[in-house]
Homo-oligomer: A and B are copies of this chain.
Amino acid sequence: MTTGTTATDLTGRMLIAGTPVFGDGEQIRAIDPATGAELEPAYGHGGDAEVARACAAADEAFETYRATTFEQRAVFLETIADNIEAIGETLSARAHAESGLPLARTTGERGRTTGQLRLFAQVVREGSFTGARIDPAQPDRSPAPRADIRQRKIPLGPVAVFGASNFPLAFSVAGGDTASALAAGCPVVVKAHDAHPGTSELVARAISDAVASCGLPAGTFSLLFGSGRNLGISLVTDPRIQAVGFTGSRGAGLALTAAAQRRPQPIPVYAEMSSINPVFLLPGALAARAAELGGEFVGSLTMGSGQFCTNPGLVIAVDGPELTTFLDSAAEAVGAATPTPMLTPGIARAYESGVQALADQGGVTVLARGRESDAPHSCRAALLATDAESFLAGDGLDDEVFGSSSLVIRCRDAAQVREVAAGLEGQLTATVHATAADAAEAGALLPTLERTAGRILFNGWPTGVEVGHAMVHGGPFPSTSDSRTTSVGTLAIDRFLRPVAYQDLPAELLPSVLADGNPEGIWRRVDGELGKH
């Protein structure tokens, strides 16, 4: 089934278990940040009643949905991807209008979104996510016989997903959290981000159509509109919700986490919150190509108006002429950078006040700003610098400024570079630029970076997160609320699973992944030995 939806079809309605519902709360419209114009139609916020309705439907759908075969679930994910593609240009155009992100980017992001869904379909078919383990009975064991014990992972239950502002497709309604939760066997209730309601509605219909055409219970998916503080908290505290996926600000992530912990039954919250993604420029790399690094750095810094979780917000290097060359090159590139719209008026305001707050700190100088623009909500890139003493003594110099702002820390020597590294909060990424001449120093830094970040890059830039099997998009607090997981890549499915052991279960009741003879043909650990047995 394809939707053939066009933008003029937009209704402003939530989609609760397949039923369109116009919320009777506050009405909001998307704003095109490039022009400041409001976009039709109006979207009505829902409230507690809609949360309860969506969660009840998700809970009711859970048993049926989690009992789907690998093939059924994989086809469902692929059908969602097909349906999203079938919307056609309408979708990337609407995402472009609602986000101010270039059309090429929203088109690319659509491909990332459908690719992610299809990758999780592969993960489901492969079956290892079930973590099947079998310890066969040993009836003759002495002093006591051993029972037959088998283990698999089952889905947690209905999952609440919060759409992220900065990825209106790939980390929103059918984004990574939704794809991994559905792959795990969990129904999903999405709270749309108010910045891109039209994009959300289009994608929600693509999912809902897939639910229907795959013959799944309608409650497998719902889309809600509402404020984070009201509907969002109501969603997280609904007793039927069993886990939460969130990407956004530290304040909002901590509020959701606290709400989840206050529940009579606390639940896991996977909040991806804030990161300034330190970049270490080691002396050999600076000696080899300081000016080039400056240009590449600003390319990463200004891409998408710097609105990436992995934007390089901190640069750390030993002071000296090579660093000056880097800074001159970077300052020139920042000064020449074309101002580009930010996602929302609020984000643009927060960006400017964040840059100002950094600049006002003792010991901080502004090295360069991007050009002024007459367009509203534009991001003027900002390059600032300070010395390590000020950074180590400072308060707030490591706060994330969401946008194209970066702070360079001049260090006295390699020991001070390591001291700054050791004092950093948890990060999504840490990047090292090094040559063979830097091997000793890079090796000395590595253990610290492993303790600090979820992903460590050499001689690259942190923006651009590959969706694959080995990716980790996560990291120690406060970059995320739970460092044991990732929100990008196939390992993300683990977030929504828990192990269950079955002792002496009659054969006819055993789930197929644990049945004798391995009918699903998956990898299983039998008495600790991995094999397709």
Contacts and interface: CB of A to CB of B under 8 A. Distances in A.
Interface of A: 63, 67, 122-123, 126, 128, 131, 133-135, 144, 146-147, 149-151, 154, 156-157, 261, 265-266, 268, 426, 434, 436, 439, 442-443, 446-447, 450-451, 453-460, 464, 466, 468-472, 474, 476-478, 481-486, 489-491, 497-506, 508-509, 523, 525, 527-528, 530
A86 to B, nearest CB: 22
A266 B523 contact: no
A506 B268 contact: no
Nearest to A447: B63
A468 B149 contact: yes
A501 B470 contact: yes
A490 B149 contact: no
Given A499-B486, A528-B490, A471 B505 contact: no
Count chain B CB atoms within 10 A of each CB in A268, A454, A483 and give the residue with the most: A483
A514 to B, nearest CB: 9
* Complex copy number for this chain: 2
Contacts of A426: 265
B457 A503 contact: yes
Nearest to A243: B484
A439 B507 CA distance: 11
Contacts of A489: 501
Contact of A500 (B455, B501, B502): B455
Given A133-B491, A147-B460, 16 more contacts: A122-B528, A135-B471, A149-B470, A150-B470, A439-B509, A450-B500, A453-B500, A458-B503, A458-B505, A460-B504, A469-B527, A472-B501, A484-B497, A484-B498, A484-B499, A490-B528
A161 B118 CA distance: 42
B458 A491 contact: no
Given A266-B477, A484-B497, A149 B471 contact: yes
Given A442-B509, A458-B506, A469-B527, A450 B154 contact: yes
Nearest to A254: B266
A460 B135 contact: no
A439 B147 CA distance: 20
A484 to B, nearest CB: 5
A480 to B, nearest CB: 10
Given A135-B470, A443-B509, A528-B469, A499 B456 contact: no
Contacts of A464: 144
A506 B505 CA distance: 49
Contacts of A450: 154, 500
A147 B454 CA distance: 16
Given A265-B426, A500-B454, A503-B457, A151 B466 contact: no
A500 B472 contact: yes
Contacts of A478: 265
Given A502-B456, A509-B443, A528-B469, A266 B481 contact: yes
A357 B126 CA distance: 52
A149 B530 contact: no
Given A63-B447, A265-B426, A456 B523 contact: no
B499 A472 contact: yes
